[in-house]
Each structure stands twice: as C-alpha cells, then as structure tokens.
Structure 1
Amino acid sequence: MPELWLPGAERHPLGDTAPTDKQYAPRVIWHITWDKNGTATKPADLVPFGQLVRYFTGGGSGAAPHLLWDPFTGRTAQFYPANSRSKSVVDTAGGTRTNRTGKVCIQVETLFFPYCRVRGKTYATVRDTPAKGLSKILAWGRSWGVPDVWPMGTPTWNANRSERTWETRGGHYGHGQVPENRHTDPGPMPKWPTTGPKPKPGAPPFPGRQTFGPGKTNDSIFLLGQQLVRRGFGKHYRVGPSRAWGEADRLNVQDFQLAQNWSGADADGVPGPETWRRLFA
C-alpha cells in the first residue's frame, strides 16, 4: 500500500478523518494560501511557514488541506492521511462531493500569494518560484495512481469548471477548476518534472478489436491499460493494468468512451480504431 503520509513531511494529524468516494479516479487539488495581497508595485513579504501551520492546526482547521507546501524551501506539513478527505474546497450539501471525490483527493496548499517577496525578490506566480520539493509530492501522488495530467488544462487565473470532467477524470486540478467553488487559484503552476523516457509522438498502430476481450492476453492490453491510467481512466483497476483482459479494462475503456459523449455500441468498452486514436492522441 502507498504511504499514507508524505515521506519527510512534518506530521500534524488533526483527527476528524473521513473516507473518500473511492469509485472515482484519484486526484490532487492545488491551492495557494493567498493570505495577503501584493501587487507588482507594492509586493509584500511571504508569511512564515510556521504561522500557517498554527492556523491549520488551530482556528483554520475547518479548512485544512492534506499538505502545506513551501515552494521556496521544500518544507511540507501534513494534516490528514492520504486516504481521508480534507476540507479546503467548498462542498455544498446535496451536490458533488468535492472534498471526497476519488480513491484519494489530496489537497495541497502552496505557501504563496501573488507578488510575494522572498529574500528581496518578488514572485508573481507559483510558476516563478523554485518549486523545491514538488517532485516528491508528485511522486507521492503517482504512488496513489494520480496521473501527471491536468484534465481541465493547466491552471490560469481564469478558472473553468466541468462537473463531467471532474467526475470522470483523474489527475491534477486547480482550486478554481473544482465544481461548486468560485476561487481562481492557484494561477500558473510550474511544469511537472518528467521521469523516465519520453513517449514517442503519435498513436501506436491499432492492433484490431480482436486483440481485446475475455480470454485475451497480450502486450497491447497492457499498453492500453497504461494509457488509460495516464489519461485518468484507471479507477476500476484494483492493482493496475496487466497483459490479461479483464472486466476492469472494459469498464475503464467504457468510461473513456462515455467521456467522448458516445453511447450504445460506440461505448461498449472494447476499443475500436477511433477510441484508440483519441486515447493516444
């Protein structure tokens, strides 16, 4: 089982844990603390890390995330284990379970506000920071099955939201992209560090529908499963993709097809040429 607590993070468990809705794909939500307002002409000094820890373990515990992350030092503090919901997004009664959606729904508060000043230098966006410690957080997310993708696009200050995408796609989301929320943070984020070989451009040749289905075992099934996970459509895998076709493969393919607004025979869970092309696009 992956680590419930980010290795190396300071632990400040709040208790008050609650399960997530594990039938949905795993995800990470990114915030900024935005505890001050700076401007290009009037920047403000960054708030000390310890002050935010005291806030989230005290009067601000009702809005605490899983992690507080300082992108200037790499320091992290954790308040909830990965398999619990946290409380940093609006969750309207009777609506989408925003704080709970996913096998994990890890929320990260980045110690930052626009035009903060650190050691005499001003930073307009999180993208401008050194982003120290980001790789460790991303690796922890991957260990829980979170793919390195932004299903609603990389964040900007102009937030867009799609409840359908939120409910069907795993990956990384900005606070402003979460349904029921009206925030616009975190703004532009750093580009994710890449690990391993870069994928070859273009889709691999479609091996034919006869390659997939009950009783089939081959490398194309494994390749399909890997790509489904990368695209955020792997929620039905209990362990992960394999070379043997299973019901989890069919359900994950069907989720992808339904996300294309297909129905009937076009969403039967068996990949055809167009499913394959779009999946690998």
Structure 2
Amino acid sequence: MIVVYEKEGKRELIIKGAFDVILNLADQPQQVKEDLKEQNEMFAEKGQRVIAIATISDYDGGLAEEELESSLAGLKIQGLVGIIDPPRPDAYESIEDAQNAGIKVKMITGDHPKTASIIAKDIGLADYDKIMTGKEIDEQVDSKDFARIVDETAVFARVSPENKMQIVSALKEESEVVSMTGDGVNDAPALNDANIGVAMGVRGTEVAKEASDMILTDDRFGTIVDAVEEGRIIFDNIKKYVSFLFACNMVEIVAIFASVVFLLPMPIAPLHILVFKFNY
C-alpha cells in the first residue's frame, strides 16, 4: 500500500508491504539491508508476520498508480513490524482429528518460510519441517518428481496463485482427492481446480465463493473435519446396507435358480419376497 502526504508544500511517500518486496525496492547500503534481513529472520523465528515500512522524503513523482510504481527511487526502509496472527483455539484439535483420520493437511501461505514452519509446528501439523517455497515450485514444476515432492511436503510458503494451482494439480496426479480452502481472489483458480473447493463464508470474497463447491458459514476448519466424519458415517452405513441386501437377495436368487435348473417346485412366491422386503 502506498500513500502520499503533503504538508507545507512538501510531499512524503509512505509504503508498506511484504519485507522481501520492499527490500528489493529499497535504495540503501548493503550492510543496512543485511541488518534488516537479520531482524526479519528474528521476527520469523517467533512465528510473526513481518511488514516493512519505507518512505521517500520530498517526493516529487506523480500520484497516479502507474506513476507511483515507477517513482520509487530513493526508498528508505524505516522499520519492520512483527504481527502475531494466532491460530483459532479449535485449530489444534481439528488438525489432530484430521490427521488421525488419515487426512493429509497441508499449509499454503504467502508468509516467510520460517514463520509458516513455526505456525505449522504450533498447531501440530505433521512434517512441519518439510517446507517448499514458491520459488522452489517454479524451479521444479517441470521435473518428473515434482508431484511426489509436493505430496511429501507439508508447508508451502511465499506462494503465488499460479503455485497454488500447481500444488493442487500435482496432488491430483498422485491420485489424491484434493480439498482446497481459501477466501481471497487469488485462491479462486485453485479452488476451482480442486476436487472440492471450500470457501470462507464470513470473510471470503464473492469470487472465491463462486469458484468453490462448498461455503463454510462459520469459517472454521473444524467444520470441514466434522463434515468428513459425518460423510464417512453415512458412507459406512450405505456399505453395510448394500452388503445386507446382497446377502439376503443372494439366498433368494440361489434358491430360485436351483429350483429352475433341477425342475423343483418354486420355493419362494412373489408374495413371500414382498413380505421379506417389508420386514427389512
């Protein structure tokens, strides 16, 4: 985000954004950048998201969006802000229940890799130390082992919308049934490509909702786990009922078939079959 303040005839540009992006735009000595990187690592190791704030004094560029983007010479980083975004209280139990049920839970985020790993460890995500960045995805997407590597990775950091689609496609290549959750416009392509796209109903954008197959009205990950549990119960009951019908009907089929083959009296009349069906 960029804003320009004007006071007493002087204008000052202030910009905030992801540390890596702002650092690449900054016009500062290399030693200063190295010190800032160390500070960023310190914040990331605490599981904090980092925002960099930079300024241009006596800004004389234009105010249109295109002019602002091309007039960032002399940008100086003034400081870093570490933000803690704590997981929901029910996330810990939901993650554990999902993994115990055989569901592979993966984290896809735009955060720093260390920040993502710390949060993944905090919520109990299995293999939280197996991390892959968006840059690494771009480098390996055409390799023959890409799908296997993605399947074995638990945390994806600094990813782009295109990377999210590549992750979903790779998991589908590994014959996985993929459910993708998201709330932003940049999540829409991956939500649409997944077997089951799940959008957030409270804070989700309309684009994400339109691209998804299911909308969570409470934005809780635990709701997905509860839905999977109920679905498995229903599926298990269906299998039991089909097995029961098959066992009962097989007896009737064998008895009638044997009577026809050996020219014996019909053991079961149509009325008997109807009575059996009504008593199931």
Q: If the length of structure 1 is used for normalisation, what is the TM-score? A: 0.21
Bigger fraction of residues in helix: 2
Give the structure with the higher percent strand.
2
Based on CA coordinates, which of the two structures has the bigger radius of gyration? 2
